[in-house]
Amino acid sequence: MSLFDLTGKVALLTGASKGMGLAMAKALAEQGATVVISARKQDQLDAAAAEINALGKGQAFGVACNVGYKDQLQALVDETHKVAGKIDIVIGNAGVNPYYGPTSEIPDDAYQKTMNANVQSNLWLAQMVAPDMVEKGAGSMAFTSSIGAFKPSVMLGTYGMSKLALIGLVRNLAAEFGPKGIRFNAICPGLVRTEFARELWDNPEVEERIKNDIPLRRLGEPDDFAGLAVFLASDASRYMTGQALTVCGGSNMWT
């Protein structure tokens, strides 16, 4: 049996109709997992689920959910139970950045939206899914943070704060649930060529400058996260919990 085999496992992913979330869902399905992918727009989820099902490996279901709302997250978990069964793997990948500007000037609603979607929603999800994993005595949850967690920023500072808080959440949950066999880790991407970050890379001159500062000399692509998702979800990472794993072409080294 391969260390990476996910046959018979059920994975729930948020923010998974495109970008890194979709790449990670595909990778889990390729290893045999049943994947429930979620995002706000059902039509994009249907297209993404069809793409995964066409691979002919693990089955995919698309269930709409805005992670900012606790009742929608509960409905997502309930629907996952109905279509796929008890959950073994969570990838909390949805994240938002509604505000560019100094933290000292952020309006209350933008601050709350950022913290709610990037931190609180993942705590809710963990609380809702942990009973499945406690019952099985095993499970893996990974939440998408960012290298923005590791440094200050005058334009993206509140987003970075939320992603640092998410690493703090991962550490606490890892400590609380480790004795029950549940692992929690954070994924910290560098700049990845997705819609979410388009404003940061969609300019040839800027892109060239950024690439020259990255040891691997290119921006990240969604598929660069496929291997990490399988690693974190599977037995291959069975002794790893409470960690923040940085995937950024070397743009951010150990701090």
Ligand X SMILES: NC(=O)c1ccc[n+]([C@@H]2O[C@H](COP(=O)([O-])OP(=O)(O)OC[C@H]3O[C@@H](n4cnc5c(N)ncnc54)[C@H](OP(=O)(O)O)[C@@H]3O)[C@@H](O)[C@H]2O)c1
- For residue 44, what is the enclosing H or E element? helix 42-53
Give the nearest distance from C-beta 137 to ligand X in angstroms: 29
Identify whether 159 is a catalytic site residue: yes
Of 91-99, 104-112, 127-135, 174-182: span binding ligand X (CB under 6 A): 91-99
| Other CB atoms within 10 Å distance of the CB of residue 131 | 12
Cα torsion angle, 145, 40, 74, 37, sign: negative
Q: Quick one: tokens of 228?
A: 């990490």
Residues 126-155 that bind ligand X (CB under 6 A): 144, 146
Nearer to ligand X among residue 6 and residue 125 (C-beta): 125
Q: Taking each helix axis from N to C terminus, what angle separates 157-177 and 108-115, rounded to the nearest 10 degrees?
A: 30
Residue 73 CA to residue 12 CA, distance in Å, equals 11
Give the nearest distance from C-beta 131 to ligand X in angstroms: 22
Give the nearest distance from C-beta 130 to ligand X in angstroms: 20
Give the nearest distance from C-beta 250 to ligand X in angstroms: 15
Residue 206 CA to residue 60 CA, distance in Å, equals 37
Of 80-88, 90-98, 104-112, 206-214: span binding ligand X (CB under 6 A): 90-98
Of 50-58, 80-88, 125-133, 191-199: span binding ligand X (CB under 6 A): 191-199
Q: Quick one: tokens of 183?
A: 């692992």
* Residue indicated by tokens 């998408």: 144
Of 28-36, 127-135, 190-198, 228-236: span binding ligand X (CB under 6 A): 190-198
| Residue from 76, 189, 226, 231 in contact with ligand X (CB under 6 A) | 189
Which residue in the shown chain puts its C-beta closest to ligand X?
Answer: 19
Q: Taking each helix axis from N to C terminus, what angle separates 70-83 and 121-136, rounded to the nearest 10 degrees?
A: 30
Residue 60 CA to residue 67 CA, distance in Å, equals 19
Residues 13-42 that bind ligand X (CB under 6 A): 14-21, 39-41
Runs of H (alpha helix) within 54-144: 70-83, 108-115, 121-136
Catalytic residue among 99, 111, 159, 239: 159
| Residue from 84, 96, 167, 169 in contact with ligand X (CB under 6 A) | 96
The set of catalytic residues is 159
Which residues of this protein are in contact with ligand X, per CB under 6 A?
14-21, 39-41, 44, 65-68, 93-96, 117, 144, 146, 189, 191-192, 194-197
